[in-house]
Amino acid sequence: MTETAKAAEASQGPVTEVGRRLPQPRGFAAWPHEGGSTKRDGKALRTSVPRSAHSIFDLDASRPDAVSAVEESNRGRIAGLTPIRVGRMAASPFAFLRGSAGLMAFDLARTPTTGIRTQICGDAHAANFGLYGDARGDLVIDLNDFDETVHGPWEWDLKRLAASLVLAGREAGADEDSCRAAARDAVGAYRRTMRLLARLPVLDAWNAIADEELVSHADAHDLLGTLERVSAKARANTSGRFAARSTEATEDGGRRFVDAPPVLRRVPDAEAAAVVTSLEQYVTTLPGDRLPLLARHAVHDVAFRVVGTGSVGTRSYVVLLLDHRGEPLVLQVKEARPSALVPHLATAGFETAPVGHEGRRVVLGQKRMQVVSDILLGWTTVDGRPFQVRQFRNRKGSVDPAVLAADQHDDYGRMTGALLARAHSHGVDPRLIAGYCGKNEELDEAIAEFAVTYADRTEADHAELVAAVNSGRIAAETGV
């Protein structure tokens, strides 16, 4: 008997060969979810919520019209930029869906859910997956937009992805069978991936489906050429390239941004100083080992930059930093508004915890869902408003699902479905969702049916917005 064992026997009784029941450290408890944690628990939920029920979409009488929903979502944004947002949403039904996460959440709150929750993206449409660089400069592919992230029902992300694939396919000119197949295949890949993750040891599942395995796992071989082209462009999409095109040399040897309205504009000194001062709070949200990296840079300029479709009108800055060789690092300081999903979670019967800082919500949600996140991801406050901070042009690249060839559309659906399952599995035991989804295609067919119906509804919403723009009810600026 070892000295440790002798001491234990003397103080607490004999050490037996039987497994002990030891107290679990605080924080080891499973992250809260409803419905149990095993496949059997998940399978039991089919009794109360049949998988076929996910095909249901009934238009609620209290639903706001599309234009009113857009106007409401513009509230609190910079008024002079909202016409750009409206113009981008009016470009196509797929673009409308991209900018209307809140309206879709209104609809989803009135559809069946199992009650299982995890960290969800909240805006998991087909264009919100992409490439970005990790700490070593390698490219990673994953979900890459988390403005709406919340602890919510997994079905909402999956249905938004499926509907977006139908709309993107229609925009690309694919026939209806192909569009439905892409939605169905995305759900099938999600279901099969969740089953795979449920079978693996937890540590293996956490980092499963490495990017080099993704194409084979999702049977997305027709996408290889597209992914290679996107990867080549992403590797060149760096702070250095952005700075070379968007800045000019100053007399003191530094650099400053060059106005390119309305997308990029320099800001007054007081506004720039407020942004720079906020970086003091930002660095306290980073791990300590990141600080020497930032300390080897100096801030040179700040500009305002319009971003995205749904994000247009929010406050977003780019901050130019230079190292001792004059090499640039550009940070984005982007306003973090409350998630558009929160008001609708209560309608669906889900409680939500108070959010102390919206930037923190976005950052922690992103870190929970991604396998690898930006090493400079943090948050801060500027003039009383919450912001997230991240690297800008961190070798980012994306596939535009609205221009994919017909033979690539279902491949893209399978790839994004697999990535979504991996992201969801970080916030809930995959055995639970896998047990509910099952082995057959009942869920795949049901959500594909929902996706087609919802795509039709989105096309009608888009038509309402276009009519309102044409009549002058709402202002829109196109081509920006």
Dump pLDDT digits (tens) for 331-366. 999 999 999 999 999 999 998 888 999 999 999 999
Mean pLDDT of the chain: 92
pLDDT at 6: 52
Mean pLDDT over 156-166 rounds to: 98
Query: What digits encode the pLDDT tens for the residues 303-338?
Result: 999 987 778 889 999 999 999 999 999 999 999 999
pLDDT in tens, 188-212: 999 999 999 999 999 999 888 988 8
Residue 32: per-residue pLDDT: 58
pTM of the model: 0.93
**Token pair in block for residue 328:** 């640039």
